[in-house]
Amino acid sequence: MKMHMESENWLNEEVYVGALETCRRRAVIWRFAKYGIIPFLKSHGYTLDGDMPKLSCDVASLLFHNRGCRLVCPYEYGVNAQNDYSIEHKQHYNHVIDYTAWEKFWEEWSMWEDVSLDSSHGFYRRIDIQDYIWSEIQLATSPQTRIVEEHIEGYRNEDGYRDEPEEF
């Protein structure tokens, strides 16, 4: 019960969004999920497992539980954390949504203190969120998965042996 009240208080705190505006953290996280993460992933050919409320609740839980940590704290979520997807899927994901894509995303979405580089833990919370997002991607329905699978199948020649892979 104490933890629940502590997290509710944390979610209801007013946080700075940009230099002058404040907003309840709960609303900032909800906007971040709906107007930030979901469109960002969709624009790169990925869909999420679960719905918008689940995404915002999971991001809030991740931020709350890891809020005082300097080091990235593992917080196990999602289908890809438990399923045996190949290394090719993860490599392709990291190729499609690379460092530059994440930096561009964070330029627009780091205006609140939990993920701001001005915060002592903001950099680590960004990494936590990026890792969490991979764990929640619905690979079975994401267009990028078909690209990886076609590429893997293209390795096989007519004798059933793998040819040398082409670059993505």
- Return contacts of 55-62, CB within 8 angstroms, 24+ apart: 55/136, 56/29, 56/30, 56/32, 58/132, 58/136, 59/29, 59/32, 59/33, 59/129, 59/132, 60/7, 60/11, 60/25, 60/26, 60/29, 61/7, 62/125, 62/128, 62/129, 62/132
With 70 as the cut, is the pLDDT of residue 114 above it? yes
For the chain, give the mean pLDDT.
Answer: 82
Residue 25 to residue 16: CA distance in whole angstroms: 9
The distance from CA 75 to its chain's CA centroid, rounded to whole angstroms, is: 12
Cα dist from 95 to 45, 78, 91, 105, 146, whole Å: 12, 21, 6, 15, 15
With 70 as the cut, is the pLDDT of residue 73 above it? no
Model pLDDT, residue 160:
55
Residue type, 155: Y
Region 93-103: what's the mean pLDDT?
94
With 50 as the cut, is the pLDDT of residue 82 above it? no
Range of weakest confidence among 27-41, 80-94, 153-167: 153-167
Instruction: List pLDDT tens digits, range 40-52.
Output: 999 999 998 777 8
Range of weakest confidence among 1-10, 38-47, 59-68, 120-129: 1-10
